[in-house]
Structure 1
Amino acid sequence: MKWFLQRVLAAIAAVLAVALGAALLVRVQYNGEPASWAVSDGSNALWMGHAWVDGRYGQKELSRLKPRIVKGGISDVYVHVGPLETDGRLDPAKHPELDGFLRMFREELPDVRVSAWVGQRVEEGDLDLGDEAVRERVVEASAGMIDAGLDGVHYNFEPVPNNDPDLIELLELTRDRLPEDALLSSAVPTVEPLGGLAFTLGLLTPKDPFWSGGYLERVAEHLDQVAVMSYDTGMPTEGLYGGFVVRQTQVALDAVPEDVQLLMGVPAYPDDHVARNPEAETAAAAVRGIRLGLSDGRERRERFGTAVYADFSATDRQWRAYLDGWARPGAGPGQQQGRGG
């Protein structure tokens, strides 16, 4: 018994040491200044809420959002059309105004791609991606969105465990069934800031807190676009959060193949809960962290941008932080970056 207790205490001490080392690593990452070239090239995305396809939003709301899309260099939007039913089906009654939204949006912003944001909770009692019939229905729903005129499908299943084979099978099946020119993208969770941390913490916690870089690479190989949800991190201070985003950006740049577009998430919502301190997880800290992480690569990677979450919750202050910090940092009149900016 004494031997067992000693082993347990040693394991806990080792985990604490790793956690402390990781905290020190991420905090120091937030120092310095980003490179002048580490800014938007007009390849960014925006998550858009359900109100656009259920009739609550229309031309008035789009007129307010359009300048932000243009100035923000946003080339892709993910419009929430679900959620899926627990058996994988997508009820058309959940997006009755989809056709009208697409006509309106494309008339105003013809160069911006529109993908169907498709997802559901993946937990016991909810959607089971391990069920072959469920996966088939998810893919059928996704193909239906392309048939309805959307440019692509954006998956968002949470939580997906590290090294989960079911998501890989779903992506393979989706890629096989969608038209070749359809965009396939997915939101993914945060990645281990230190190699081996996902495995170590996975032994001690009931749910994987991170994906490994290796699993992110495997997932990305089946996609055109990956959006890392670099928020809800539990970081208590802005410095730690900013450093965490720097490290997330560095790890994701290494893991995601260069022919796959990599987007780093920017939080623009008010939620305050155990996994998020809104005073720490600011849009300003996120974009500075992304720029610092990108700067570490010594040159601008193509097919790299940000993804803002979300249109329905972003405040004027958060939009300003995004525009001034990423889309057009230091730009004066006539020098703004981004699409039409």
Structure 2
Amino acid sequence: MKWFLQRVLAAVAAVAVVAAGGAVVLRMQYSGEPEEWAVSDGTNALWMGHAWVDGRKGADELAELAPRITRGGIRDVYVHVGPLDYDGRLDPAKHPELDSFLDLMAERLPDVRVSAWVGQRVEEGQLDLLDDATRARVVEAADAMVAAGFDGVHYNFEPVPNNDPGFVSLLEETRAALPEDVLLSSSVPKIEPLGGLAFTLGLFLSKDPFWSSGYLERVAEHLDQVAVMAYDTGMPTEGLYGGMVARQTRLAVDAVPEDVHLLMGVPAYPDDHSTRNPEAETTQTSVRAIRVGLSDAAQRRERFGTALYVDFTATDDQWRAYLEGWARPQEAEAG
């Protein structure tokens, strides 16, 4: 019931965006042709599901996926190893085939960095990032994943409120505990499309639907990579969704420090609920909107890519849209 109410509130927030910003203005964000340089530079990412570390998937499945990873310019993969328990612990029983998977990746895709996707719901009575002991156990879990052979740790805690001090403390403590060469990344929610909207909606909604640009910048300063979850926007049409993603891209480029690798999340899943119309939020629209938003700058930002969500639901058509629309659009146009 609580999850349903949060979805409803998020949908209300989406309506507020359209009402406050104006549907016409938002739609205009998704207009014009993207620049030829606004394409992949081969530094993309992919979220990968839990089946890789619990034994349900192995060499045969990776042999099928590997060519897409290579052709998609995917340099980083985030593999789900949890979820964490509500006290911050990570039970090793949740990933019994972790070592076999890491060996398989090293053999089949040696140039791809593999990060442990670690996270949990952040709600009252569940995992509490304001609690010192809970954060310490999360850091222990991250350290254990690095000791097991992962190249990095990818955090995914939802929902983290705007201006939450506990999450910043967790990042500081994690960075201090891990070796300097270990990649630290995190998924982050959407950015307020209009200045002050996060604060205003926070006065009426129990869960913040957006982060402010300032808080995103503060979080990003402690990370090597930031992946903006630019989906589940609640936008009812393709044009409005494209406008939202283009706007998110422009805001993220401005907010995330240039020495931090910025990734824009791309949907490749079938969910249909109050905050997602799958006919509007398509892979094809997402990557084109990212290119449009990126084209707003005078030149291509370095350390910029996309992150595809998620391997176990992405269809052949969605992979094709991703490869042709973002990874290799010139080849698609020439062909």
After TM superposition, the score normalised by the length of structure 1 is 0.92
1:23 is displaced (CA, Å) by 3.2
1:19 is displaced (CA, Å) by 2.9
1:156 aligns with 2:156: yes
- The residue type paired with residue 247 of structure 1 is R
- The residue type paired with residue 135 of structure 1 is R
Q: Which runs of 5+ in 2 are unaligned?
A: 1-14
**1:50 — aligned with what?**
50
- The residue type paired with residue 100 of structure 2 is G
- The residue type paired with residue 97 of structure 1 is E
Q: 1:96 to 1:84 in 2, by over 3 A?
A: same
Q: Which runs of 5+ in 1 are unaligned?
A: 1-14, 337-341
Which range is displaced more, 139-148 or 199-208?
199-208
Asked if the contact 1:22/1:193 (under 8 Å) is kept, the reply is: no
Q: 1:27 to 1:151 in 2, by over 3 A?
A: same
**2:222 — aligned with what?**
222
CA offsets per residue over residues 195-250 of structure 1, 9 Å max, x none? 11111111122211100000000000000000000001100001000110000000
SS of the counterpart of 1:330? helix
Q: 1:17 to 1:184 in 2, by over 3 A?
A: closer
Tell me how large the CA RMSD over aligned residues is.
1.6
**1:7 — aligned with what?**
none
The CA distance in 2 between the partners of 1:196 and 1:128, in whole Å, is 26
Asked if the contact 1:259/1:303 (under 8 Å) is kept, the reply is: yes
**2:7 — aligned with what?**
none
**1:40 — aligned with what?**
40
The CA distance in 1 between the partners of 2:16 and 2:232, in whole Å, is 21
Asked if the contact 2:44/2:306 (under 8 Å) is kept, the reply is: yes
The CA distance in 1 between the partners of 2:124 and 2:207, in whole Å, is 13
1:21 is displaced (CA, Å) by 2.3
SS of the counterpart of 1:184? strand
1:17 is displaced (CA, Å) by 9.2
Asked if the contact 1:22/1:194 (under 8 Å) is kept, the reply is: no
**1:307 — aligned with what?**
307
Counterparts of residues 65-144 of structure 1 (less than 5 Å):
65-144=65-144
1:50 is displaced (CA, Å) by 0.2
Larger Rg computed on CA atoms: 1
**1:9 — aligned with what?**
none
Asked if the contact 1:26/1:246 (under 8 Å) is kept, the reply is: no
Asked if the contact 2:18/2:26 (under 8 Å) is kept, the reply is: no
CA offsets per residue over residues 306-332 of structure 1, 9 Å max, x none? 000000010111101100000000316
Asked if the contact 1:263/1:305 (under 8 Å) is kept, the reply is: yes
SS of the counterpart of 2:244? helix
Q: 1:17 to 1:188 in 2, by over 3 A?
A: closer
**1:166 — aligned with what?**
166
Aligned sequence identity (%): 74
**2:329 — aligned with what?**
329
Q: 1:311 to 1:296 in 2, by over 3 A?
A: same
Q: 1:37 to 1:200 in 2, by over 3 A?
A: same
Asked if the contact 1:43/1:75 (under 8 Å) is kept, the reply is: yes
The CA distance in 2 between the partners of 1:332 and 1:246, in whole Å, is 22
Asked if the contact 2:284/2:322 (under 8 Å) is kept, the reply is: yes
SS of the counterpart of 2:194? coil
SS of the counterpart of 1:76? strand
1:22 is displaced (CA, Å) by 4.5
**1:249 — aligned with what?**
249
Asked if the contact 2:21/2:194 (under 8 Å) is kept, the reply is: no
1:83 is displaced (CA, Å) by 0.2
1:319 aligns with 2:292: no
Counterparts of residues 143-292 of structure 1 (less than 5 Å):
143-292=143-292
CA offsets per residue over residues 270-289 of structure 1, 9 Å max, x none? 00011111001000010001
Asked if the contact 1:48/1:77 (under 8 Å) is kept, the reply is: yes
The CA distance in 2 between the partners of 1:20 and 1:211, in whole Å, is 17
The CA distance in 2 between the partners of 1:323 and 1:26, in whole Å, is 26
- The residue type paired with residue 147 of structure 1 is A
